[in-house]
Structure 1
Amino acid sequence: MSRRGPLCAAVLAMTMLVTLPGTSGAAETEYTVSVDAAGTGPEISEHMYGVFFEDINRAADGGLYAELVQNRSFEYDPADNAAYTGLTGWAPHSGDPRVVDDDGRLNERNRRYLRLDLPAGVINAGYNSGIRVERGERYDFSVWARTTAGSTPLSAALTDPAGRALADPLRIAVRGDGWAKYTGTFTARAASINGRLLVRGEGGGTLSLDMVSLFPRDTFKNRPNGMRRDLAEKIAALDPGFVRFPGGCLVNTGSHHGYEAPDFERRRSYQWKDTIGPVETRATNANFWGYNQSYGLGYYEYFQFTEDVGAMPLPVVPALVTGCGQNQATDDPALLARHIQDTLDLIEFANGPVSSTWGAKRAEMGHPEPFGLTHIGIGNEENLPDEFFARFVQFRAAIEERYPDVTVISNSGPDDTGGTFDRLWQLNREAGVDMVDEHYYNSPAWFLQNNERYDGYDRAGPKVFLGEYASQDNRFRNALAEAAYMTGLERNADVVRLASYAPLLANEDYVQWRPDMIWFNNRASWGSASYEVQKLFMNNVGDRVVPSEATGTPSTLEPITGAVGLSTWGTSAAYDDVRVTAADGTALFADDFSGTDDAWTPIAGQGSWSVVDGRYVQSDAAAENTMVAAGDPAWRDYDLSVKATKLSGREGFLVAFGVQDTGNYYWWNLGGWNNTQTAVEKAEGGGKSTLVSDGTTVETGRTYDVRVQVRGRHVALYLDGELWGEFTDDAVVEPFRQVVTRDERTGELVVKVVNAQDDAARTTVRLDGADVERRARVTTLQGHPDDANTQYTSPIAPLESTMDVAAEFIHTFPANSVTFIRIKTRSTR
């Protein structure tokens, strides 16, 4: 997951507006699609499309992992979230419950537990608004407990918020001062979405509790310690070719100390050995995304779930170089050797015979047969390309020596372009890497402009695993742009072998990132418009690409126009001597801040701007996206110059040009991404894409001379009088895209057409060399670009129909639609 400096959830959530040809659904544009039905294009991988699971947005605990109790082991900590305590998620029912960490703990990985001086009790409301309880369903309760009283009556009850019983309570006798597991099962006789679990001890003495669990019996595939059924079924309905897990940024962030550390630290990278074995012996960890993760959903469960949905497992392990803006490399040969050995052990855990050390561990957990691991990723979004690659080649050498049939996947950093991307691709090519993981999150327009991205990739070079991508919002316009882009992925199936939209899941009450494919709360789940597009493509992949081509959409590129702007992100900065001059030297604007700031208008509504000692200062070092703008949105062909000084904070400063409104502008982001790189970003409808970048950083207290020269659609950028970079923004938005594949099992041509514009597309389809049956099956997604699926309504849903076809036929593809036509062929030339 790219945590891209100024690109955060607040910006991602803005409404997307992409200007496309046409103004209403009444108009039509003429197209031709020509298909060489007898031709043969690239073979499509059987694993082409998959899913990427990262524990972000409470995707695991409170999400796919079906446990209903929040903070069941009392391990929440301020290291996870500043607002956390050991009792987060719990409320006293009576008495004075205390979370303790002493020699009486359950085990070294599960250090904290609850101590009750009896009589006393506690209540847990789970996640969201409470625990969902369904009438007639069974719920398995368990707790580890011990008592100083010899024998202590313990009761567990399911209630609504008013205390009314939802099931008959459980009565348990806790005996002895040694930890033991106690279990029972509720059968609900009433329903609630606001349920509570009350656990109470009676009598005298002290009762200690740990691992308080409530699990629905009805999990996906009825697995104990399993998955929430509705979420798992939505994932299974995609028919994914692979599951990439467990992340993401949480894989390669945090400390990298050993498992044998006597004092378990709160922040550590995701290490698979922490996550297997009995759940009460597993660690918890401070999640990169600001909460605690229990590891109840661990590597065994990931492998089992992948098998249950018929997919290929694709784990990712840390390479001892942090990513996601942290940018640190660990130089400890012994630690590196241990992590490499851990990775070899992981492959043995997945594939080894029961006679092997880790194969025996797998069998002990209930799966003697191998899981069949064939691919493994090393690292994630590292911004230190040389440091990462030096470690990657050591991982690869060790894996290939012992497991030559396992594909070892490298990566290209967090963006689709830039210095890190170029350097990593150079290193990957030179080393003959098998597959490279690319990640990017961009505006809808970017996806419509870059359908040919992989056309020029070296067919003999490393293959591409597009492990994370999404258009920045969850409306239908975003899904349309993604669908258009996916036609290019399929056309280049000989290069792009694997692809997964990201992220997969989001709990609506715990969102760190959007867009997301599947949304949920404690009572319902729903697929986004992007989910419907992904499902349509994943269920209709085909085996081979069939050569085809289509006419394009007429378009005209206008010059870059717009006002100018100043901004910061998590930084305090000062600006002075802003000047805007037309290409002929005419002064358009000047402000030396010797007076007021009346010429400047807040664009983002954040920050604290004021004129201080002849400079324009944004003083709030925590505020994000503080843009103010001045000038005329109609300005074109101008020079912008400004003096900029970083005063404090984690990043640098931003100078904007071509400013139209809050979601449409360019800015030069100097010292972005936690002051690790500098880039020009283009915002369209609130979503951003990177046009050019390098590793320039910004010094605190130093004043920089910044100049931006705009000519037509060409921009040159100067820093302290030196040319920093330049670009020409001449990519054309193409809203009409298509690809054709052949399903060899059914003998069908699958014609896939995306029409991401407000005009209908009247299209002549020519199937040269095909003898087709008359009736074809059609699946259509259609809606308004601003439509979004919610818990209560799903305007974007597939419509099934049939139509008449021939070797040549005319079909009008609706405005803003994705259409798949499955055409049965009798024979080919």
Structure 2
Amino acid sequence: MSHARTRTRWRLALTATALLAASFLVPPPVSATPVSATPVNAAAEDATDYAITVDPKATGAKIDDTMYGVFFEDINRAADGGLYAELVQNRSFEYSTADNRSYTPLTSWATTGTAATADDDGRLNARNRTYLALGAGSSVTNSGYNTGLSVQEGETYDFSVWARADGSAALTVTLQDADGELAQARRVTARGGWARYTARLTATRTSATGRLTVASGSPAALDMISLIPRDTYKGHGLRADLARKIAALDPGFVRFPGGCLVNTGSMKGYDEESGWERRRAYQWKDTIGPVEQRATNANFWGYNQSYGLGYYEYFQFSEDIGAMPLPVVPALVTGCGQNQAVDDDALLKRHIQDTLDLIEFANGPVTSEWGKKRAKMGHPKPFGLTHLAVGNEENLPNEYFERFKQFRAAVEAKYPDVTVVSNSGPDDSGSTFDTAWKLNREANVDLVDEHYYNSPQWFLQNNDRYDSYDRSGPKVFLGEYASQGNTFRNALSEAAFMTGLERNADVVKLASYAPLLANEDYVQWRPDLIWFNNHASWNSANYEVQKLFMRNVGDRVVPSRATGTPSVIGPVTGAVGLSTWATSAAYDDVKVTGADGTELLADDFSGDASRWTHTGGGSWSVQDGQYVQSDEAAENTMVSAGDPAWHDYDVHVKATKKAGKEGFLVAFGVKDTGNYYWWNLGGWNNTQSAVEQAVDGGKSTLVSKAGSIETGRAYDIDIKVRGRQVTLYLDGQEWGGFTDDKPAEPFRQVVTKDKKTGDLIVKVVNAQAVDARTAVDLGSAQVRPRAEVTTLAAAPDAVNTETATAVAPVASTFSGVARKFTYTFPANSVTFLRIKKG
């Protein structure tokens, strides 16, 4: 997961007027009259808006069974309180203020009587350090996640606790909510040293606000208090509804455990003598074995993770859903804004050996050291690991690649059949991306992991992204991608992009939307594929698109082509703006001059700032002839001036960073708070600069370079806008430029063939507000007249929620198939036609 700024949903306007406002005009297809959204069979020579021509005799790219998969990262409480079925939060009393300032060992617990947490020689074990000392007649109650523990009437829940008592202690276990008892109370008796005690509770009512209480009649020490539903996915401890939704996608692979978890925090891990370093990067050996012996860790995303869902469970889940496991291990170069290379040769060698041990854990015989540990956990059969990724979104490509080569050499020497995956940094372009790809090509890497989160417009514009990739070079693993939102508009843009992924299946070998899960009460990132709370889950519109593609992939691309949508592209238009992000900065001598020399704006702030409109956060004021934003914590503090109709102009600004994490932002082409360009100098924790385009709040990077901004130094910034061409100058030197003239094509298609059934699968995305009457020419293909049709169609702003499913597939049949036929694809739709072989 890229630790970029949280970006608001981008509402792609698909009417001509709205697109013109976004500087792109994509008019409706040139149909003289409105057409019905109902499929129409007509003569091929009838007037149509589009034409799709298929060449069944030509051979297209082979599509691997693993083409589409899922990426699981413990973000948005995806593991504890999510896919991991444990209902008790902080079950081992390991929460700490060192991990989160709001945490204590009793977070999510309430006590009565005499109760205190302890960390001494009487602990359960070295990795489970903190326990609860409960006095006679005292109790402790857990409130779970979200609103409480969720239970279903008639379902059975397995309670367990590790307890220690001098003599004996009767423990009473109750489950209740505000309305009373939810299950019959149970009693267990603890005697002597630490031992595990169990009980079974059957819910007598359904509740989402349950509380679990353990009361003791005598002094006792408690740890690892647990309540897990008996009904978990295939009995393997995962929350059934969430696991079933993932399985229903029929994914070809599961990438895990991250993401930013992999390469953030200390790389040293757990040490038996000194304990563990807080905020550790995820290390697989911490996560296997009995759960009471697994170390708790601070999560990069601001909460703790128990590791009850660990590497063994990831492998097991992958096997349960028939997917290839694809673990990611740290490369000792931190990412996600940290950007440091760990210079410790002994530690590097240890991590390389840990990686070899991981492969042995997955694939080794039961007679091997780590294969024996796997077998002891209940799985003597190897998991069949074939792919393994090293690193995640490292922003230091040279340092990363020096370490990657050592990992790859060690793996290839001992396990030559395992593919080692590299990556290209945190974005879809820029100096880091270019350097990383150069290194990957030179080293003949097998697979390169690309990540990007962009606006829907970017996805509509970049369907051809992989058309020009070197067919003989490294292949692409698109490990993380999504447009910025969960509306149907976002899903449409992703569907349009996926047709390009399939067309280039000889280059793009793996692809996974990200993130996978989001607990609605603990959201660090959006968009997300599956949403849930403690009692329900629901599919996003994006999920429905992913499912449609995953379950209808086909085995080979059938070459095809389609006509496009006429487009008219006007110049970049808009006012100018100033902003900051977690930084205090001062601006002066703002000048905007038209291409003909006309002065449009001049402000040296010798007076007030009345020409500027404050649309963002922060604290702006005129100080000593400068316009100063003084709030170092505020994000996107935009102020703007000028006319949204301005075009073809030059902007000059003098900017000085005063304090904070980043640099400064100078905007142009500003239409409103969600539609603008800005030159982000010293962004991403002052590691790089880029031009970003915002369309309805969603941002895409147009050009970027590594670099930082000095505090206290005044910089001269000049931006030249001519038509759609923009050139940028820093201190009088040309920094870079771009031409933003790529149309956002709303009509995309791809055709594949299912080898097993012989079906032709015609996949069409119509991401515009009008129907698309289309002539389809199947060439010499022998086909039956009846096709199975699956359609996703909804309003662009439609969003699925817990209580309303606005976007769902509709199945139908179409009886008008011939070698040449006409079909009308509804407005704002994704349509799959499965055409039977004749």
Partner of 1:725: 736
SS at match of 1:768: coil
Contact 2:11 2:695 in 1 (8 A): no
Partner of 2:169: 152
Partner of 1:569: 581
**Aligned-residue offset at 1:685:** 1.5
* Match 1:135 to one of 126, 132, 153: 153
Deviations 1:578-622 (A, max 9, x none): 111111111101111122222111223x11111112111111111
**Aligned-residue offset at 1:38:** 2.4
1:60-459 matches, cutoff 5 A? 60-92=79-111, 94-148=112-166, 150-162=167-179, 164-176=180-192, 178-203=193-218, 206-223=219-236, 226-261=237-272, 262-459=274-471
* Match 2:59 to one of 20, 40, 43: 40
1:613-624 matches, cutoff 5 A? 613-624=624-635
**Aligned-residue offset at 1:78:** 2.1
Contact 1:351 1:371 in 2 (8 A): yes
1:644-663 matches, cutoff 5 A? 644-663=655-674
SS at match of 1:167: strand
Partner of 2:602: 590
Contact 1:2 1:381 in 2 (8 A): yes
Contact 2:799 2:807 in 1 (8 A): yes
Aligned equivalents of 1:377, 1:86: Cα separation in 2: 35
Partner of 1:810: 822
Deviations 1:740-788 (A, max 9, x none): 0000101100000000001110000000011111110000000010000
Contact 1:735 1:756 in 2 (8 A): yes
* Match 1:537 to one of 523, 544, 549: 549
Contact 1:21 1:758 in 2 (8 A): no
Aligned equivalents of 2:692, 2:26: Cα separation in 1: 24
Partner of 2:38: none
Aligned equivalents of 1:460, 1:490: Cα separation in 2: 18
Partner of 1:2: 2
Structure 2: state its 5+ residue gaps.
20-24, 36-47
Contact 2:114 2:136 in 1 (8 A): no
Contact 1:12 1:515 in 2 (8 A): no
SS at match of 2:184: coil
**Aligned-residue offset at 1:173:** 1.0
Aligned equivalents of 2:649, 2:239: Cα separation in 1: 57
Contact 2:127 2:275 in 1 (8 A): no
Pairwise CA RMSD? 1.3
Structure 1: state its 5+ residue gaps.
none
Aligned equivalents of 1:683, 1:663: Cα separation in 2: 6
* Match 2:480 to one of 464, 468, 471: 468
Contact 1:766 1:807 in 2 (8 A): yes
Q: For residue 161 of structure 1, what is the amino acid of its counterpart? A: A
1:653-732 matches, cutoff 5 A? 653-732=664-743
Percent identical residues: 70
Deviations 1:457-479 (A, max 9, x none): 00000000000000000000000
Partner of 2:780: 769
SS at match of 1:448: helix
SS at match of 1:733: coil
Q: For residue 375 of structure 1, what is the amino acid of its counterpart? A: H
Deviations 1:313-342 (A, max 9, x none): 000000000011110011111110000000
Aligned equivalents of 1:37, 1:646: Cα separation in 2: 60
Partner of 2:653: 642
Contact 2:591 2:653 in 1 (8 A): yes
Aligned equivalents of 1:27, 1:816: Cα separation in 2: 15
**Aligned-residue offset at 1:14:** 5.8
* Match 1:12 to one of 8, 11, 30: 8
**Aligned-residue offset at 1:27:** 4.1
Number of equivalences: 813
Deviations 1:65-122 (A, max 9, x none): 0000001011111233221111111112x12432221111111111111122222111
Residues 480/258 of structure 1: CA separation in 2 closer, same or farther (3 Å cut): closer
SS at match of 1:233: helix
SS at match of 1:391: helix
Aligned equivalents of 2:34, 2:344: Cα separation in 1: 65
**Aligned-residue offset at 1:713:** 0.5
SS at match of 2:255: strand
Q: For residue 151 of structure 1, what is the amino acid of its counterpart? A: S
Aligned equivalents of 2:281, 2:63: Cα separation in 1: 35
Partner of 1:52: 71
Residues 665/96 of structure 1: CA separation in 2 closer, same or farther (3 Å cut): farther
**Aligned-residue offset at 1:152:** 1.1
SS at match of 1:451: coil
Aligned equivalents of 1:524, 1:392: Cα separation in 2: 41
Aligned equivalents of 1:214, 1:22: Cα separation in 2: 57
Residues 192/170 of structure 1: CA separation in 2 closer, same or farther (3 Å cut): same
Aligned equivalents of 2:742, 2:186: Cα separation in 1: 66
Contact 1:564 1:629 in 2 (8 A): yes
SS at match of 1:126: coil
Partner of 2:22: none
Q: For residue 208 of structure 1, what is the amino acid of its counterpart? A: A
Aligned equivalents of 2:128, 2:657: Cα separation in 1: 44
Q: For residue 321 of structure 1, what is the amino acid of its counterpart? A: V
**Aligned-residue offset at 1:16:** 4.8
Contact 2:164 2:194 in 1 (8 A): yes
Aligned equivalents of 1:188, 1:74: Cα separation in 2: 26
**Aligned-residue offset at 1:716:** 0.7
Aligned equivalents of 1:21, 1:644: Cα separation in 2: 37
Q: For residue 720 of structure 1, what is the amino acid of its counterpart? A: D
Aligned equivalents of 2:78, 2:807: Cα separation in 1: 23
Deviations 1:535-594 (A, max 9, x none): 000000000000000000000111000000111111111111111111111110111112
* Match 1:752 to one of 763, 770, 777: 763
**Aligned-residue offset at 1:64:** 0.3
Contact 1:543 1:743 in 2 (8 A): yes
**Aligned-residue offset at 1:17:** 4.1
**Aligned-residue offset at 1:12:** 2.5
Q: For residue 184 of structure 1, what is the amino acid of its counterpart? A: A
Aligned equivalents of 1:258, 1:83: Cα separation in 2: 23
Contact 2:26 2:568 in 1 (8 A): no
Partner of 2:42: none
**Aligned-residue offset at 1:15:** 4.5
Q: Which moved more, 1:410-419 or 1:79-88?
A: 79-88
